[in-house]
């Protein structure tokens, strides 16, 4: 899996900590991976836009969490992602709008 | 071997073309990029269906502010395999508008009636006997309470006594007829470009081989057809004028169970047609969750009641237009759409009318599908909820894309003549929804199939 897809899966799983609190860590990770795989089929130009938005998300997370996203604890990551998803920041909120929509579809439709 | 006709795309336009050509004894090959999926093997409106039968797994979007999510089928049979099967003839006024604005010959309602009848007979167009489904009945109740016009829309469904209704997709009808008449259907084949020599096309270049043909008919739909023409160097009036039906949705919760995850409301409110239509959308639990995703923090608990919920829509004939551009080195074309201020106002008006109707039908609770939308539980809350839908918050989607290879005799505005023959290339035609100058205000499949019949008949007359 490319690094951007791994990061997308991780951000999705962190989003689901608040969005689907009943989901286990294992399930959230599985939904994250399936969401990332689904989004990999976006048309090329849109996919490039999503990658740019994801870079903005990771940068914003680092500012908000005061350390790189990859070095935060799981709880800190989930808290930061939840704040960013509701922030209304251009690009960042649109990124989470897309990810949340697909993740919810996957969570309701995919057998786990 | 050189085929008489290569048909690129196997949706309704391609299927009609292939059947009619094969029945006249021509050697026909149909090239379809998507997979062959047996009808009924993917659950309707499911994520599985999106993955197997939709282009980009259903994640296509026209860029703009707001972006407009749209879907395109990618499978043998095209949109007919995945859509709801609702059948309409084009409005006479719309046909007149197209004919005069684009100098199109032979496109009056009287010209098309024989072709509409042919389509209706082959697809077993009918309205089901007996009561409507519960989601439809909500719309009927609301419309009747308000005195608005509406109807249970006929569908391409065969209803044999004692058997379950069977949707008459292209695979079950026109493509089956084409194959029976000797046509060859190849799935999983992407046509990269047309092979042109001077003012003629000599075949197509696929991702596997070159296929030679005396005549090529492009039927890839309103996004893929212009993209293929552009990749082949044919750009005059191609790709501009993208037209669609921008649509907004509202989730309604009723007292009673209304949700059938395998079906949707077939009743449509026509009081404001063709400018605006109100109808029902698919409502599987995943779709319900998607509809609530803009207000998920507040509304996630509502999903548990999905059996009492259904998703309804208001769609408009748009003043805005978009564009399809093939970009060298990039597989998928870039699609853009500009929603005008008037369109946004029309969408707000549509959402308002829809919520008034759902209130009149007895909806206890409504959630408009846009980011940060309020809950609506009383008629006086409709106005503020509508006003709060800003351009940035709006969640707009669409189907029924048209207009990117417009037909007509005015060469300054059209890409083909009145019958789909591409200007400047003697033996190349287009025969799909991209010919229709604008989205007609109803599901265009019936119209495009009638037009496709008419066009291929003219083409075959010329070849005799």
pLDDT tens digits along A55-96: 999 999 999 999 999 999 999 999 999 999 999 898 999 999
Alpha carbon distances (Å) from A102 to A16, A106, B91, B290, B453: 12, 6, 36, 8, 39
Boundary-marking domain end, from B362, B382, B398: B398
For β-strands B184-187 and B68-70, DSSP reports them as unpaired
Task: Assess if residue B48 is contained within a domain.
Answer: no
SS3 B309: strand
B281, B309: one domain: yes
Residue B431 corresponds to which tokens in the numbers above? 């025969």
B141, B282: one domain: yes
Sort B369 into a burial class: Cβ within 10 Å, 0-12 / 13-18 / 19+. Answer: buried
| Cis peptide, bond prior to residue A66, ω within 30 of zero | no
Min CA distance, A44 vs chain B (Å)? 6
Task: Assess if residue B215 is contained within a domain.
Answer: yes
Contact B290 A109 (CB under 8 A): no
A–B interface: beta-carbon pairs under 8 A: 68
For β-strands B210-218 and B428-430, DSSP reports them as parallel
- The number of beta carbons lying within 10 Å of the beta carbon of residue B380 is 8
Tell which of A36, A50, A100, A108 to mutate to test the B interface (max B CBs under 10 Å).
A108
The alpha helices in B361-444, defined as continuous H runs, are 382-387
**Residue from B283, B287, B296, B277 nearest B254 by CA:** B283
**Residue from B409, B402, B463, B456 nearest B434 by CA:** B402
* CA closest to B288 among chain A residues: A105
User: Which residues form the domain of B154?
Assistant: 134-158+246-398
- The number of beta carbons lying within 10 Å of the beta carbon of residue B43 is 13
Cα B121-B445-B191 angle, rounded to 5 deg: 115
**Residue from B332, B233, B448 nearest B33 by CA:** B332
B256, B301: one domain: yes
Is residue B219 within 8 Å of residue B9, measured between CB atoms?
Answer: yes
Tell which of A21, A23, A44, A98 to mutate to test the B interface (max B CBs under 10 Å).
A44
B253's enclosing H/E stretch is: strand B247-253
Q: What is the DSSP string of B130-166?
A: SPPPHHHHHHHHHHHHHT--EEE--EEEE--TTS--E
Task: Assess if residue B452 is contained within a domain.
Answer: yes
Contact A43 B371 (CB under 8 A): no
Min CA distance, B162 vs chain A (Å)? 32
B381, B423: one domain: no
Task: Assess if residue B384 is contained within a domain.
Answer: yes
**Which residue matches tokens 């009383």?**
B378
* Domain-wise residue ranges, chain A: 3-107
B329, B449: one domain: no
Task: Assess if residue B128 is contained within a domain.
Answer: no
Tell which of B42, B53, B56 to mutate to test the A interface (max A CBs under 10 Å).
B56
Query: Would you give the DSSP letter of residue A112?
Result: -
B315, B382: one domain: yes
B102 is annotated as an active-site residue = no
Q: What is the pLDDT of residue B226?
A: 98
pLDDT digits (tens, 9 = 90+) for A28-65: 999 999 999 999 999 999 999 999 999 999 999 999 99
The alpha helices in A1-112, defined as continuous H runs, are 3-19, 25-39, 44-65, 74-85, 92-109
For β-strands B155-158 and B166-167, DSSP reports them as antiparallel
B368's enclosing H/E stretch is: strand B365-368
pLDDT digits (tens, 9 = 90+) for A12-29: 999 999 999 999 999 999
Residue B74 corresponds to which tokens in the numbers above? 């990618």
**Which residue matches tokens 């920041």?**
A89
* CA closest to A103 among chain B residues: B290
Residue B32 corresponds to which tokens in the numbers above? 């379809």
Comparing CB atoms, the residue among A38, A45, A108 nearest residue B289 is A108
* CA closest to B46 among chain A residues: A109
Comparing CB atoms, the residue among A42, A93, A106 nearest residue B59 is A42
Q: What is the pLDDT of residue B208?
A: 95
CA–CA separation, B374 and B26 (whole Å): 59
Low-confidence ranges of chain B (pLDDT < 50): none
B178, B222: one domain: yes
Min CA distance, B394 vs chain A (Å)? 12
Comparing CB atoms, the residue among A44, A101, A106 nearest residue B293 is A101
B321, B214: one domain: no
Name the B residues in 48-107 with CB < 8 Å from any A CB.
Answer: 48, 51, 56-57, 59-61, 63
Alpha carbon distances (Å) from B350 to A58, B177, B291, B341: 38, 41, 17, 14
Is residue B21 within 8 Å of residue B216, measured between CB atoms?
Answer: no
Q: Which of B215, B245, B400, B453 is catalytic?
A: B400
Residues from chain A that touch B293, judged by Cβ atoms under 8 A, are: 97, 100-101, 104
Query: Who's near B6: CB < 8 A, 6+ residues apart?
Result: B28, B29, B31, B203, B204, B211, B213, B215, B216, B217
CATH number assigned to the domain comprising residue B79: 3.50.50.60
Number of domains observed in the structure of chain B:
2
For β-strands B68-70 and B396-398, DSSP reports them as parallel
Q: What is the pLDDT of residue B130?
A: 84
CA–CA separation, B462 and A61 (whole Å): 65
CA–CA separation, B142 and B140 (whole Å): 5
pTM for the structure as a whole: 0.96
Q: ipTM of this complex > 0.85?
A: yes
Task: Assess if residue B321 is contained within a domain.
Answer: yes
Q: What is the pLDDT of residue B444?
A: 96
**Which residue matches tokens 């409502």?**
B283
Comparing CB atoms, the residue among B51, B300, B331 nearest residue A19 is B300
Boundary-marking domain end, from B398, B419, B442: B398
* CA closest to B61 among chain A residues: A46
């Amino acid at each position: 899996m490319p690094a951007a897809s791994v990061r997308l899966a991780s951000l999705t799983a962190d989003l689901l900590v608040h969005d689907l609190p009943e989901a286990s860590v294992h399930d959230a990770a599985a939904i994250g991976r399936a969401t990332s795989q689904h989004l990999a089929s976006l048309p090329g130009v849109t996919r490039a836009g999503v990658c740019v938005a994801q870079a903005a998300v990771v940068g914003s997370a680092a500012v908000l969490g005061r350390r790189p996203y990859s070095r935060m604890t799981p709880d800190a990551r989930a808290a930061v992602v939840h704040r960013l998803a509701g922030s209304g920041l251009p690009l960042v909120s649109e990124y989470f709008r897309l990810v949340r929509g697909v993740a919810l579809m996957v969570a309701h439709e995919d057998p786990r | 071997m050189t085929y008489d006709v290569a048909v690129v795309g196997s949706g309704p336009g391609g299927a009609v073309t292939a059947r009619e050509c094969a029945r006249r004894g021509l050697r026909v090959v149909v090239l379809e990029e998507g997979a062959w999926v047996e009808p009924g093997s993917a659950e309707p409106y499911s994520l599985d269906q999106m993955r197997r039968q939709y282009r980009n797994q259903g994640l296509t979007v026209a860029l703009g502010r707001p972006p407009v999510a749209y879907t395109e089928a990618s499978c043998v049979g095209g949109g007919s395999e995945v859509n709801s099967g609702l059948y309409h003839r084009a409005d006479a006024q719309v046909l007149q508008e197209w004919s005069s604005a684009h100098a199109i010959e032979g496109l009056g309602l009287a010209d098309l009636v024989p072709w509409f009848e042919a389509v209706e007979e082959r697809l077993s167009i009918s309205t089901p006997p007996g009561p409507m489904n519960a989601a439809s009945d909500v719309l009927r109740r609301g419309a009747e309470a308000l005195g608005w016009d509406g109807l249970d829309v006929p569908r391409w469904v065969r209803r044999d006594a004692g058997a379950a209704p069977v949707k008459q997709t292209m695979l079950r009808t026109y493509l089956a007829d084409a194959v029976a008449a000797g046509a060859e259907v190849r799935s999983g084949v992407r046509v990269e470009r047309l092979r042109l020599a001077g003012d003629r096309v000599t075949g197509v270049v696929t991702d596997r081989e070159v296929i030679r043909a005396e005549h090529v008919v492009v039927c890839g739909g309103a996004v893929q057809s212009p993209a293929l023409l552009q990749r082949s160097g044919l750009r005059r009036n191609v790709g501009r004028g993208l037209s669609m039906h921008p649509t907004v949705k509202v989730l309604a919760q009723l007292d009673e169970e209304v949700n059938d995850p395998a079906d949707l409301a077939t009743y449509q409110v026509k009081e404001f047609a063709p400018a605006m239509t109100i109808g029902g959308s698919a409502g599987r639990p995943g779709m319900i969750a998607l509809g609530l995703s803009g207000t998920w923090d507040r509304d996630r608990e509502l999903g548990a009641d999905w059996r009492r919920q259904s998703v309804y829509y208001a769609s408009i004939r748009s003043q805005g237009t978009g564009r399809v551009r093939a970009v060298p080195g990039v597989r998928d074309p870039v699609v853009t759409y500009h929603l005008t201020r008037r369109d946004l106002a029309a969408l707000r008006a549509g959402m308002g009318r829809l919520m008034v109707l759902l209130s009149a039908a007895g909806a206890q609770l409504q959630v408009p599908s846009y980011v940060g939308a309020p809950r609506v539980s009383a008629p006086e809350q409709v106005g503020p909820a509508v006003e709060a839908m800003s351009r940035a918050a709006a969640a707009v989607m669409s189907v029924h894309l048209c207009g990117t290879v417009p037909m007509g005799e005015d060469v300054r505005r059209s890409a083909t003549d009145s019958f789909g023959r591409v200007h400047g290339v003697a033996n190349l035609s287009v025969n799909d929804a991209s010919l229709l100058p604008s989205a007609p205000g109803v599901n265009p499949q019936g119209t495009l199939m009638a037009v496709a019949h008419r066009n291929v008949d003219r083409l075959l007359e010329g070849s005799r």
